[in-house]
């Protein structure tokens, strides 16, 4: 396929078997593009992309982005990295390698091919913010020696690499700072608050709130997040970022738990546990730049998004459903050597 064909592109999505990556693959395929999904299945899951197995425009390659990849594509979305504390703290050295070496390898590929590349950064670059809400101009308040630093500083370094590859080599880059995202395909035990609360409520277990429940987050439904990523990629180099993508509607953890208990009709009690080290007290994006530069704003209300996400977990928890969820080692296909293997035809 010609790389000059504007209608149909060959697009690489690293981390494509993950939560956001699999939804992004769905969106790009629906637009008529060819998608090459790359994932080492450390936290991604083949179940997330199983419905795409017979799609002629989709292919999957088992590969770790810390190893260079030789492939011909028209665009690159770099989403590869564990995104929840329980996963990125399990192997913090690998988390840093994924953020830093993965960024270098994908940037080198984009440079060789002369194609645009989007980096999935994170709101965690702001740390425990002293400015609220957080604009892109805020430099953050990050503890470089804490247990979350492997992710926070890894993503900050990846942003530096992207901007320096642009300044030094002219690489066409985009940087999206992704705030808390939720929806179907979240894993049960991934440490994200919405999945934790829903599973506990459906099982009648105590709903565990860390801290006093007064800390806040802003939750963006996954379809809105994917739309923001696609718009940013399509916006052109003049909008290279960083650009905040998230829902500016703030919600306390206690209020979120109450909403989920109401939606699940659960009688689970609330249990309060000590707040984890360096856990931010507030998190809310300033999306003024995304509104003006991309014409983007989230559309799915929290109530509707929770309802759909609860439905997803109800199906998993139903008799005959898969109560165990995806295996933590990637359904038995974790690639410990960091090499590359084709699982679906390329």
CA angle 223, 310, 124 (to 5 degrees): 55
126 is catalytic: no
Give the Cα separation of 205 and 200 in Å (integer).
5
Phi, psi of 210 (to 5 degrees): -90, 130
Helix extents (H) in 15-81: 19-30
Q: Helix axis angle, 193-203 relative to 302-317, nearest 10°?
A: 50
Other Cβ atoms less than 10 A from the Cβ of 339: the count is 11
Strand residues in 19-101 grouped as ranges (E): 34-39, 58-63, 75-78
H helix and E strand count, the chain: 9, 14
Q: 77, 126, 151, 165: which is the annotated catalytic residue?
A: 151
> Any idea which residues carry the catalytic annotation?
151
């Amino acid at each position: 396929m010609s790389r000059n064909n504007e209608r149909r592109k060959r697009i690489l999505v690293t981390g494509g078997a993950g939560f956001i990556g699999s939804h992004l693959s769905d969106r790009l395929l629906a637009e008529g593009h060819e998608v090459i999904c790359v994932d080492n299945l450390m936290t991604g899951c083949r179940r997330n992309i199983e419905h795409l197995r017979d799609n002629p425009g989709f292919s999957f390659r088992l590969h770790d982005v810390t190893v260079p990849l030789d492939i011909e594509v028209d665009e690159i979305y770099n989403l590869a990295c564990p995104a929840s504390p329980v996963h990125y703290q399990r192997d913090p050295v690998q988390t840093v390698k994924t953020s830093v070496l993965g960024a270098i390898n994908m940037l080198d590929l984009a440079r060789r091919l002369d194609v645009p590349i989007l980096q999935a950064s994170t709101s965690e670059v702001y740390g425990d913010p002293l400015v609220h809400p957080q604009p892109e101009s805020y430099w953050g308040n990050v503890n470089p020696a804490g247990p979350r630093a492997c992710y926070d500083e890894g993503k900050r370094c990846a942003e530096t690499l992207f901007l320096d590859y642009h300044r030094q080599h002219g690489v066409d880059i985009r940087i999206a700072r992704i705030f808390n995202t939720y929806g179907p395909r979240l894993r049960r035990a991934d440490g994200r608050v919405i999945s934790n609360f829903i599973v506990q409520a459906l099982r009648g277990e105590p709903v565990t709130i860390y801290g006093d429940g007064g800390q806040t987050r802003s939750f963006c439904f996954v379809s809105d997040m994917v739309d923001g990523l696609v718009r940013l990629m399509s916006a052109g180099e003049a909008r290279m970022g960083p650009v905040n993508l998230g829902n500016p509607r703030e919600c306390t953890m206690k209020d979120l738990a109450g909403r989920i208990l109401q939606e699940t009709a659960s009688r689970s009690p609330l249990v309060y546990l000590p707040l984890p080290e360096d856990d931010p007290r507030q998190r809310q994006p300033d999306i003024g730049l995304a509104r003006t530069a991309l014409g983007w704003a989230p559309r799915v209300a929290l109530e509707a998004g929770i309802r759909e996400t609860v439905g997803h977990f109800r199906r998993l928890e139903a008799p005959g459903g898969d109560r165990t969820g995806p295996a933590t080692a990637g359904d038995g296909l974790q690639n410990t050597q960091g090499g590359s293997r084709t699982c679906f035809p390329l």
